[in-house]
Structure 1
């Protein structure tokens, strides 16, 4: 347990810091109105059309920071603040989500792999907590490692999924920032582009700490499984 806490406590602190930093950046840049006056919805539509994409719908979604692209039904889903907002933050996030739509249209292999894993990862995530609890009880009372081994395999799958997500997110941000920089009708100043880059960088960091947290969790349960087997 001591080794686990040695890894997990710094990860929890890092995760909380990154989440706080991202939310503070988003709140700050949400107050900075675009000189172009475009809304997140208008930015999204323009980026899609500039990339020759006309079969993706831009939808408004309840909640805050619930923005995502759904490749299954080809929708860019923007939270209310982003959809209607006319700020640097709204434009950056809208362009980032459209970056995923561009990936989909161009058959970006990391997105295809991630999308293929979503159903099984979703099922694994829902069952994993109970599998791990039962596995720990069984290995403690009977020494049988099979159920815990299944749990560790599920954690490994989730960890791989988390790391596959990283190039998908970084690439979407890269596509968004290049497009924003080349479209003066959207962001008219270097300062706006710098602010968009800052916001998206911190957004990407939330995925980095999530992946590292998944890895730390996997290592803990794997050490429990294999350490018990050695005994």
Structure 2
């Protein structure tokens, strides 16, 4: 029964998606616990998150980027529309090792845009399409079921695939930003040798959240293909 997953016990969801969801929850918990741990370790040089971001930009010859404070925790980000790095209250003025790592990572994104790093440009370009695909996928699949239209179901699966493409492109973007951040921290001497591994662990934990997000998206896409794939061809 090809659509059994929508009406009863969904073995594909249990076997494919649930393990990846568990991985995602673990990754989120890991990044929070790692940040909280190294948030307690103040770096010897007394460099704040904002100063670390400025240092990374300066080392890479990037100018014209604003660094702003924003309320919250672990909601740090770079906004390419306004060329602004927004650092959370837990990072902006904090001199913790974790804050230096996070701030340097966000500065790494600013550097990516400044040097024309292709994956981040690609990600920015496909955001509107992937947002539409993510929103339209399941309505299209459900509508296809009601209308008994395999073609519409296949279009829905393809639409969901767009969100998977976004996750696929995001992963190298995030890994590269962390690589740039760690290189700048080490080369610029922002942290002492014994502090550097702590910043690296913080960024590695953060990277796992993107690995998990991609895994969930791929598992869900595979589930949809196994449940409904080929229905359009069967109808012709």
Tell me the equivalent position of 1:217: 220
Tell me the equivalent position of 2:36: 27
Matches of 1:101 and 1:131, distance apart in 2: 37
Matches of 2:60 and 2:33, distance apart in 1: 31
User: How far off is 1:228 after superposition?
Assistant: 3.9
- 2:115 pairs with 1:110: no
- Conservation of the 8 A alpha-carbon contact between 2:182 and 2:200: yes
Q: TM-score under structure 2 normalisation?
A: 0.89
Tell me the equivalent position of 2:6: none
Task: Give the match's secondary structure for 1:60.
Answer: strand
Tell me the equivalent position of 2:153: 148
Matches of 2:37 and 2:118, distance apart in 1: 34
Tell me the equivalent position of 1:168: 173
Match of 1:204 among 189, 202, 207: 207
User: How far off is 1:120 after superposition?
Assistant: 1.8
Task: Give the match's secondary structure for 1:38.
Answer: coil
Task: Give the match's secondary structure for 1:35.
Answer: coil
Aligned residues, how many?
225
- 2:40 pairs with 1:16: no
Matches of 2:132 and 2:86, distance apart in 1: 23
Deviates more, 1:171-180 or 1:80-89: 80-89
Matches of 1:41 and 1:151, distance apart in 2: 43
- 2:58 pairs with 1:58: no
Matches of 2:73 and 2:133, distance apart in 1: 26
Structure 2 residue runs without a partner (length 5+): 1-9
Structure 1 residue runs without a partner (length 5+): none
Task: Give the match's secondary structure for 1:190.
Answer: coil
Q: TM-score under structure 1 normalisation?
A: 0.91
Match of 1:38 among 27, 36, 47: 47
Q: Deviations over 1:162-206 (max 9, x none)?
A: 01111111111001001101122x21x222100011110111111
Query: Do the aligned partners of residues 77 and 129 (structure 1) sit closer, same or farther apart at CA in structure 2, a change above 3 Å counting?
Result: farther
User: How far off is 1:160 after superposition?
Assistant: 1.1
Quote the RMSD (CA, aligned, Å).
1.6
- Conservation of the 8 A alpha-carbon contact between 2:131 and 2:163: no
Deviates more, 1:202-211 or 1:55-64: 55-64
Matches of 1:225 and 1:127, distance apart in 2: 16
Task: Give the match's secondary structure for 2:152.
Answer: helix
Tell me the equivalent position of 1:120: 129
Matches of 2:73 and 2:196, distance apart in 1: 23
